[in-house]
């Protein structure tokens, strides 16, 4: 897809950035990004990708909007309660930019269906709320050499990872070989709403940088945000030689 005159106007404030330009904007338009989980992370992530001009986006979530989601899931309002998140998200996003092709997938991701869900996308964003799904996505992306940009939030903390499995490097199992016994998510531990907004926006930041091939500082590192201390730290993740995904340096 080429840029048309309306695109030049709509995106002029980012096209004038030398590091983006027309070439970068074309890449953004043609990128294929999948968002798994349309919750506190998925809402800001989808909003920024759409408003920046990503025109091929898949969204996966089988939940309906609940009243207790509204403190952080900013694409939804009270009239959306009881409706499927993916449907409501698509409606809102197409109001921002109607040319975006949004593929909605109202399904629970599983070993059986993961290939058909992910294979046609280049960049995969994980914003899910349980470890079982996180491991499944990690293992699939590792095996199929996808780029995985993953964020997790709980209480006042956020984590962000980027794994470029086209290259050598660690995966989720390298530093967390086994699934923790306790889930650590918004449902069970609570969440400070701006942490969701910030981490979802940082995920969008990394997706867009990956699309236009800007400085890849987060490769093989984890970004940790603490909203109480107001600290943002970057920690290197090492390859674990015993990783069952046979990760290599
Ligand atoms: Zn690994």
Query: Virtual CA dihedral for 84, 192, 53, 89, nearest 10 degrees?
Result: 10
pLDDT of residue 61: 97
Centre of ligand 1 to C-alpha 138, Å, is 9
Cα-to-centroid distance, 175 and ligand 1 (Å): 8
Is it the case that residue 129 has pLDDT exceeding 90?
A: no
- How many angstroms does the Cα of residue 162 sit away from the middle of ligand 1? 13
Cα dihedral sign, 142-144-150-152:
negative
Ligand 1 centroid from CA 177, angstroms: 8
- Say how many Å lie between the CA of residue 71 and the centre of ligand 1: 35
Q: What's the rounded Cα separation, in Å, for the pair 128 and 38?
A: 8
Q: Give CA–CA dist 80/92, Å, rounded.
A: 11
Q: How confident is the model at residue 193 (pLDDT cuts 50, 70, 90)?
A: very high
Domain-wise residue ranges, the chain: 31-236
What is the reported pLDDT for 184?
65
Lowest mean pLDDT among 74-83, 95-104, 167-176, 183-192: 183-192
Over residues 142-154, the mean pLDDT reads 96
Paired sense of beta strands 147-154 and 221-226, if any = unpaired
User: Angle 193-211/21-30 helices, nearest 10 degrees?
Assistant: 110
Measured in angstroms, how far is the CA atom of residue 168 from the centroid of ligand 1? 10
What pTM did the predictor assign? 0.96
Would the pLDDT of 206 be above 70?
yes
- Quick check: 62 pLDDT over 90? yes
| Highest averaged pLDDT of the listed ranges 178-182, 187-191, 237-241 | 237-241
Q: Which CATH number fits domain 31-236: 3.40.50.11810, 3.50.50.60, 3.40.47.10, 3.40.50.720?
A: 3.40.50.720
Centroid of ligand 1 to alpha carbon of 245 (angstroms)? 5
């Amino acid at each position: 897809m080429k840029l048309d005159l309306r695109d030049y106007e709509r995106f002029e404030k980012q096209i004038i950035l030398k590091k983006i330009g027309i070439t970068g904007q074309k890449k953004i338009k043609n990128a294929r990004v999948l968002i798994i989980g349309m919750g506190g992370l998925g809402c800001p992530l989808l909003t920024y990708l759409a408003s920046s001009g990503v025109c091929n986006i898949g969204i996966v979530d089988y939940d309906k909007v609940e009243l207790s989601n509204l403190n952080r899931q900013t694409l939804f309002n009270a009239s959306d309660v009881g409706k499927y998140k993916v449907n409501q998200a698509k409606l809102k996003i197409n109001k921002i930019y109607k040319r975006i092709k949004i593929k909605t997938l109202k399904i629970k991701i599983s070993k059986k269906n993961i290939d058909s869900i992910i294979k046609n996308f280049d960049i995969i964003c994980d914003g899910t709320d349980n470890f079982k799904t996180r491991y499944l996505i990690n293992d699939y992306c590792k095996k199929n050499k996808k780029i995985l940009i993953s964020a997790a939030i709980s209480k006042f903390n956020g984590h962000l990872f980027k794994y470029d499995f086209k290259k050598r490097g660690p995966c989720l199992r390298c530093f967390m070989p086994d699934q923790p016994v306790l889930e650590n998510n918004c449902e069970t531990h609570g969440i400070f709403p701006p942490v969701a907004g910030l981490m979802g926006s940082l995920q969008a930041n990394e997706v867009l940088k990956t699309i236009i091939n800007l400085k890849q500082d987060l490769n093989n590192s984890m970004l940790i945000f603490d909203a109480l201390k107001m600290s943002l730290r970057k920690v290197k993740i090492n390859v674990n030689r015993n990783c069952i995904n046979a990760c290599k340096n």
